[in-house]
Amino acid sequence: MKPAASISLDLDNLWSYLKTQGAPGWESFPSYLDLVVPRILDLLARCDQRITFFVVGQDATIESNRAALKSIADAGHEIANHSFMHEPWLHLYDRERLHQEIGDAEKMITAVTGQTPRGFRGPGFSTSPLVREVLAERGYDYDASLFPSALGPVARLFFFLNSTLSAEEKERRKGLYGKFSDAFGSLSPFTWENGLIELPVTTMPLLRLPVHTTYLMFLAQKSEALARAYWNTAVTLCRLRSVAPSLLLHPTDFLDVTDVPQMSFFPGMKLAAEKKIALVEHTVRSLQRHWQTGTMSDHAAAATRCPGACATLSTQHA
Protein backbone atom coordinates (compact mmCIF):
# COMPACT_ATOMS: atom_id res chain seq x y z
CA MET A 1 0.00 0.00 0.00
CA LYS A 2 1.27 3.48 -0.85
CA PRO A 3 2.16 5.82 2.06
CA ALA A 4 -0.18 8.75 2.72
CA ALA A 5 0.33 12.24 1.32
CA SER A 6 -1.93 15.28 1.15
CA ILE A 7 -2.84 18.34 -0.89
CA SER A 8 -4.26 21.57 0.48
CA LEU A 9 -5.19 24.94 -0.95
CA ASP A 10 -5.16 28.23 0.95
CA LEU A 11 -8.21 29.98 -0.49
CA ASP A 12 -6.74 33.45 -0.07
CA ASN A 13 -9.02 35.93 -1.82
CA LEU A 14 -8.09 39.05 -3.79
CA TRP A 15 -8.78 41.36 -0.83
CA SER A 16 -6.48 39.37 1.47
CA TYR A 17 -3.55 39.70 -0.94
CA LEU A 18 -4.20 43.43 -1.31
CA LYS A 19 -4.47 43.80 2.47
CA THR A 20 -1.21 41.98 3.15
CA GLN A 21 0.46 44.06 0.42
CA GLY A 22 -0.83 47.30 1.94
CA ALA A 23 -2.65 48.14 -1.32
CA PRO A 24 -5.77 50.33 -1.29
CA GLY A 25 -9.23 48.94 -1.98
CA TRP A 26 -9.09 45.78 0.09
CA GLU A 27 -11.64 47.17 2.55
CA SER A 28 -14.44 46.55 0.05
CA PHE A 29 -13.44 42.86 -0.01
CA PRO A 30 -13.04 42.37 -3.79
CA SER A 31 -13.28 38.71 -4.75
CA TYR A 32 -12.30 36.33 -7.53
CA LEU A 33 -13.81 33.21 -5.94
CA ASP A 34 -16.57 32.87 -8.55
CA LEU A 35 -13.87 32.82 -11.25
CA VAL A 36 -11.20 30.64 -9.67
CA VAL A 37 -13.15 28.05 -7.67
CA PRO A 38 -14.70 26.41 -10.78
CA ARG A 39 -11.23 26.17 -12.36
CA ILE A 40 -9.84 24.50 -9.24
CA LEU A 41 -12.75 22.08 -8.89
CA ASP A 42 -12.54 21.18 -12.58
CA LEU A 43 -8.86 20.26 -12.28
CA LEU A 44 -9.45 18.22 -9.12
CA ALA A 45 -12.39 16.38 -10.70
CA ARG A 46 -10.28 15.59 -13.76
CA CYS A 47 -7.64 14.11 -11.47
CA ASP A 48 -10.23 12.41 -9.22
CA GLN A 49 -8.55 14.07 -6.25
CA ARG A 50 -10.01 15.25 -2.92
CA ILE A 51 -8.06 17.94 -1.08
CA THR A 52 -8.39 20.34 1.87
CA PHE A 53 -9.42 23.96 1.32
CA PHE A 54 -8.36 26.42 4.03
CA VAL A 55 -11.14 29.03 3.94
CA VAL A 56 -11.02 32.59 5.30
CA GLY A 57 -14.03 33.31 7.51
CA GLN A 58 -14.64 36.83 6.23
CA ASP A 59 -15.35 35.46 2.75
CA ALA A 60 -18.18 33.36 4.13
CA THR A 61 -19.93 36.50 5.44
CA ILE A 62 -20.38 37.84 1.88
CA GLU A 63 -23.42 36.56 0.02
CA SER A 64 -21.77 36.64 -3.42
CA ASN A 65 -19.04 34.24 -2.23
CA ARG A 66 -21.29 31.65 -0.66
CA ALA A 67 -22.20 29.63 -3.75
CA ALA A 68 -18.52 29.14 -4.60
CA LEU A 69 -17.68 28.09 -1.03
CA LYS A 70 -20.60 25.68 -0.84
CA SER A 71 -19.63 24.14 -4.18
CA ILE A 72 -16.29 23.10 -2.66
CA ALA A 73 -17.97 21.15 0.12
CA ASP A 74 -20.59 19.76 -2.28
CA ALA A 75 -17.74 18.38 -4.42
CA GLY A 76 -16.55 16.31 -1.44
CA HIS A 77 -13.51 18.31 -0.35
CA GLU A 78 -12.50 19.00 3.24
CA ILE A 79 -13.05 22.51 4.60
CA ALA A 80 -10.53 23.86 7.13
CA ASN A 81 -10.01 27.19 8.94
CA HIS A 82 -7.63 29.89 7.64
CA SER A 83 -8.62 32.52 10.26
CA PHE A 84 -11.33 35.16 9.99
CA MET A 85 -9.47 38.25 8.74
CA HIS A 86 -6.30 36.66 7.26
CA GLU A 87 -3.81 38.70 9.26
CA PRO A 88 -0.26 37.24 9.09
CA TRP A 89 0.51 38.58 12.56
CA LEU A 90 -1.74 36.07 14.32
CA HIS A 91 1.18 35.21 16.60
CA LEU A 92 0.80 38.68 18.20
CA TYR A 93 -2.81 38.07 19.32
CA ASP A 94 -3.69 37.36 22.95
CA ARG A 95 -5.74 34.33 23.99
CA GLU A 96 -9.11 36.08 23.96
CA ARG A 97 -8.58 37.56 20.51
CA LEU A 98 -7.38 34.22 19.13
CA HIS A 99 -10.51 32.49 20.38
CA GLN A 100 -12.64 35.16 18.74
CA GLU A 101 -10.68 35.11 15.45
CA ILE A 102 -10.73 31.33 15.10
CA GLY A 103 -14.24 30.95 16.53
CA ASP A 104 -15.82 33.58 14.27
CA ALA A 105 -14.27 31.86 11.25
CA GLU A 106 -15.57 28.47 12.44
CA LYS A 107 -19.09 29.83 12.82
CA MET A 108 -19.32 31.38 9.36
CA ILE A 109 -17.52 28.56 7.53
CA THR A 110 -19.79 25.96 9.13
CA ALA A 111 -22.93 27.97 8.32
CA VAL A 112 -22.05 28.27 4.63
CA THR A 113 -20.40 24.92 3.86
CA GLY A 114 -22.07 22.60 6.36
CA GLN A 115 -18.64 21.43 7.58
CA THR A 116 -17.16 22.32 10.96
CA PRO A 117 -13.41 22.81 10.45
CA ARG A 118 -11.13 20.43 12.31
CA GLY A 119 -7.88 21.75 10.82
CA PHE A 120 -6.20 25.15 10.83
CA ARG A 121 -3.45 27.01 9.01
CA GLY A 122 -2.27 30.46 10.06
CA PRO A 123 -2.17 33.12 7.31
CA GLY A 124 1.40 33.67 6.14
CA PHE A 125 2.36 30.61 8.27
CA SER A 126 1.90 32.73 11.41
CA THR A 127 1.79 30.56 14.50
CA SER A 128 2.88 30.41 18.12
CA PRO A 129 2.57 28.13 21.16
CA LEU A 130 -0.48 30.17 22.22
CA VAL A 131 -2.15 29.69 18.83
CA ARG A 132 -1.69 25.92 19.21
CA GLU A 133 -3.02 26.02 22.78
CA VAL A 134 -6.18 27.76 21.57
CA LEU A 135 -6.59 25.25 18.73
CA ALA A 136 -6.34 22.37 21.19
CA GLU A 137 -8.82 24.07 23.52
CA ARG A 138 -11.25 24.40 20.61
CA GLY A 139 -10.94 20.70 19.77
CA TYR A 140 -8.98 20.93 16.53
CA ASP A 141 -7.37 17.74 15.25
CA TYR A 142 -4.44 19.28 13.38
CA ASP A 143 -2.50 22.42 12.55
CA ALA A 144 -0.64 23.00 9.27
CA SER A 145 1.16 26.30 9.91
CA LEU A 146 4.82 25.29 9.86
CA PHE A 147 6.88 26.01 6.75
CA PRO A 148 10.35 24.46 7.24
CA SER A 149 12.21 26.46 4.60
CA ALA A 150 15.41 28.48 4.59
CA LEU A 151 13.92 30.91 2.05
CA GLY A 152 11.19 32.37 4.28
CA PRO A 153 13.20 35.52 5.11
CA VAL A 154 14.17 35.89 1.44
CA ALA A 155 10.51 35.68 0.39
CA ARG A 156 9.64 38.24 3.06
CA LEU A 157 12.33 40.63 1.80
CA PHE A 158 11.05 40.25 -1.78
CA PHE A 159 7.54 40.98 -0.53
CA PHE A 160 8.64 44.09 1.37
CA LEU A 161 10.62 45.44 -1.58
CA ASN A 162 7.55 45.14 -3.80
CA SER A 163 5.11 46.68 -1.33
CA THR A 164 4.21 50.20 -0.23
CA LEU A 165 3.98 49.30 3.44
CA SER A 166 4.98 51.76 6.15
CA ALA A 167 7.70 50.91 8.65
CA GLU A 168 4.99 50.21 11.25
CA GLU A 169 3.12 47.84 8.93
CA LYS A 170 6.35 46.02 8.05
CA GLU A 171 7.02 45.56 11.76
CA ARG A 172 3.64 43.86 12.18
CA ARG A 173 4.47 41.57 9.26
CA LYS A 174 8.01 40.72 10.35
CA GLY A 175 7.02 37.10 11.01
CA LEU A 176 5.62 36.63 7.50
CA TYR A 177 6.76 33.33 5.89
CA GLY A 178 8.70 32.31 9.01
CA LYS A 179 12.32 32.61 10.08
CA PHE A 180 15.57 30.98 8.98
CA SER A 181 15.61 28.58 11.95
CA ASP A 182 12.33 27.09 10.68
CA ALA A 183 14.42 25.30 8.04
CA PHE A 184 15.57 22.83 10.70
CA GLY A 185 12.03 21.75 11.61
CA SER A 186 10.50 18.37 10.87
CA LEU A 187 9.16 17.57 7.40
CA SER A 188 7.10 14.70 8.78
CA PRO A 189 3.87 14.90 10.81
CA PHE A 190 4.27 15.02 14.57
CA THR A 191 2.13 15.55 17.65
CA TRP A 192 2.50 18.40 20.12
CA GLU A 193 2.24 17.59 23.82
CA ASN A 194 -1.32 18.95 23.89
CA GLY A 195 -2.36 16.28 21.35
CA LEU A 196 -2.57 18.58 18.32
CA ILE A 197 -1.12 16.97 15.20
CA GLU A 198 1.21 19.16 13.12
CA LEU A 199 1.37 18.66 9.34
CA PRO A 200 4.22 20.84 8.04
CA VAL A 201 4.08 22.20 4.50
CA THR A 202 6.59 20.08 2.61
CA THR A 203 9.82 21.65 1.40
CA MET A 204 12.58 19.93 -0.55
CA PRO A 205 14.38 17.38 1.65
CA LEU A 206 18.02 18.23 2.45
CA LEU A 207 17.93 21.64 0.72
CA ARG A 208 14.73 22.86 2.40
CA LEU A 209 13.74 24.91 -0.64
CA PRO A 210 10.03 25.64 -1.27
CA VAL A 211 8.15 23.21 -3.50
CA HIS A 212 4.64 24.63 -3.17
CA THR A 213 3.10 25.33 -6.56
CA THR A 214 3.29 29.13 -6.26
CA TYR A 215 7.08 28.82 -6.19
CA LEU A 216 6.89 26.50 -9.19
CA MET A 217 4.93 29.21 -11.05
CA PHE A 218 7.69 31.70 -10.28
CA LEU A 219 10.21 29.31 -11.87
CA ALA A 220 7.91 28.45 -14.77
CA GLN A 221 7.66 32.10 -15.70
CA LYS A 222 11.37 31.80 -16.49
CA SER A 223 11.28 28.23 -17.82
CA GLU A 224 8.50 25.63 -17.66
CA ALA A 225 11.07 22.87 -18.17
CA LEU A 226 13.02 24.15 -15.17
CA ALA A 227 9.89 24.20 -12.99
CA ARG A 228 9.01 20.60 -13.90
CA ALA A 229 12.59 19.42 -13.37
CA TYR A 230 12.66 21.18 -9.98
CA TRP A 231 9.41 19.50 -8.93
CA ASN A 232 10.55 16.09 -10.16
CA THR A 233 13.75 16.50 -8.12
CA ALA A 234 11.67 17.24 -5.03
CA VAL A 235 9.57 14.12 -5.62
CA THR A 236 12.70 11.99 -6.00
CA LEU A 237 14.21 13.37 -2.78
CA CYS A 238 10.96 12.85 -0.90
CA ARG A 239 10.89 9.21 -1.99
CA LEU A 240 14.57 8.69 -1.08
CA ARG A 241 14.12 10.33 2.34
CA SER A 242 10.72 8.67 3.04
CA VAL A 243 8.97 12.03 3.26
CA ALA A 244 5.25 11.83 2.49
CA PRO A 245 4.52 15.23 0.91
CA SER A 246 1.92 17.75 1.97
CA LEU A 247 1.59 19.91 -1.15
CA LEU A 248 0.30 23.47 -0.88
CA LEU A 249 -1.67 25.21 -3.65
CA HIS A 250 -3.01 28.77 -3.94
CA PRO A 251 -5.72 30.38 -6.12
CA THR A 252 -3.03 32.34 -7.96
CA ASP A 253 -1.84 29.00 -9.38
CA PHE A 254 -5.02 29.06 -11.50
CA LEU A 255 -5.07 32.76 -12.43
CA ASP A 256 -3.00 35.18 -14.48
CA VAL A 257 -2.69 38.94 -14.72
CA THR A 258 -5.40 39.18 -17.39
CA ASP A 259 -7.82 37.57 -14.92
CA VAL A 260 -6.78 39.77 -12.00
CA PRO A 261 -4.86 42.91 -13.08
CA GLN A 262 -4.65 44.06 -9.44
CA MET A 263 -2.36 41.09 -8.73
CA SER A 264 0.38 42.12 -11.16
CA PHE A 265 2.76 42.50 -8.20
CA PHE A 266 2.50 38.80 -7.31
CA PRO A 267 5.18 36.32 -8.53
CA GLY A 268 4.24 34.21 -11.54
CA MET A 269 1.18 36.19 -12.59
CA LYS A 270 2.60 36.82 -16.07
CA LEU A 271 2.42 33.10 -16.82
CA ALA A 272 -0.79 32.17 -18.67
CA ALA A 273 -3.42 30.49 -16.50
CA GLU A 274 -3.65 27.53 -18.89
CA LYS A 275 0.04 26.80 -18.43
CA LYS A 276 -0.28 27.15 -14.67
CA ILE A 277 -3.16 24.70 -14.51
CA ALA A 278 -1.20 22.20 -16.62
CA LEU A 279 1.70 22.44 -14.17
CA VAL A 280 -0.60 21.92 -11.18
CA GLU A 281 -2.02 18.84 -12.89
CA HIS A 282 1.52 17.53 -13.39
CA THR A 283 2.26 17.87 -9.67
CA VAL A 284 -1.00 16.24 -8.60
CA ARG A 285 -0.63 13.26 -10.91
CA SER A 286 2.99 12.70 -9.90
CA LEU A 287 1.93 12.59 -6.24
CA GLN A 288 -0.79 10.09 -7.09
CA ARG A 289 1.72 7.80 -8.77
CA HIS A 290 3.84 7.42 -5.64
CA TRP A 291 1.57 8.20 -2.66
CA GLN A 292 -1.98 7.63 -1.46
CA THR A 293 -2.91 11.27 -1.85
CA GLY A 294 -5.84 12.76 0.04
CA THR A 295 -6.97 15.48 2.42
CA MET A 296 -5.07 16.82 5.39
CA SER A 297 -7.39 14.90 7.71
CA ASP A 298 -6.58 11.70 5.80
CA HIS A 299 -2.86 12.44 6.18
CA ALA A 300 -3.18 13.17 9.91
CA ALA A 301 -5.16 9.98 10.50
CA ALA A 302 -2.60 7.90 8.60
CA ALA A 303 0.24 9.45 10.60
CA THR A 304 -1.36 8.52 13.91
CA ARG A 305 -2.03 4.96 12.73
CA CYS A 306 1.60 4.39 11.78
CA PRO A 307 3.68 3.53 14.88
CA GLY A 308 6.67 5.83 15.27
CA ALA A 309 5.66 8.07 12.37
CA CYS A 310 4.08 10.75 14.53
CA ALA A 311 6.52 11.58 17.32
CA THR A 312 5.55 13.86 20.18
CA LEU A 313 7.37 17.19 20.31
CA SER A 314 6.98 19.87 22.94
CA THR A 315 9.58 22.52 22.21
CA GLN A 316 9.94 22.60 18.41
CA HIS A 317 9.15 26.09 17.05
CA ALA A 318 8.26 27.24 20.55
Kindly tell me if the per-residue pLDDT of 315 is higher than 50. no
Q: Is the per-residue pLDDT at 249 higher than 90?
A: yes
Q: Are 68 and 302 in contact (CB under 8 A)?
A: no
10 or 318: which leads in pLDDT: 10
> Helical H runs in 22-122?
33-47, 57-60, 63-74, 95-113
Percent with pLDDT over 70 in the chain = 86
Beta strands in the chain (DSSP E): 4-10, 52-55, 78-81, 119-120, 142-143, 190-192, 197-198, 246-249, 292-294, 312-313
pLDDT in tens, 100-147: 999 999 999 999 999 999 999 999 999 999 999 999 999 999 999 999
Quote the pLDDT of residue 174: 56
Of the candidates 224, 226, 203, 281, the residue with the CA atom closest to the CA atom of residue 40: 281
Confidence at residue 297, expressed as pLDDT on a 0 to 100 scale: 98
Q: Check pLDDT > 50 for residue 308.
A: no
Please tell me the predicted confidence (pLDDT) of residue 16: 96
- Comparing CA positions, the residue from 110, 109, 93, 113 lying closest to residue 101 is 93
pLDDT score for 1: 84
DSSP-assigned letters across all residues of 118-129: -EE--GGG---H
> Which pLDDT score, from 0 to 100, does residue 23 have?
86
pLDDT for the residue numbered 318: 38
pLDDT the model gives residue 192: 96
The overall average pLDDT reported for the chain is 90
> What pLDDT digit, counting tens, does each position of 134-179 carry?
999 999 999 999 999 876 565 555 555 555 656 766 566 555 555 5
Spell out the domains of the chain, with CATH numbers in brackets: 4-306 (3.20.20.370)
Supply the pLDDT for residue 162: 58
Identify the pLDDT of residue 173: 58
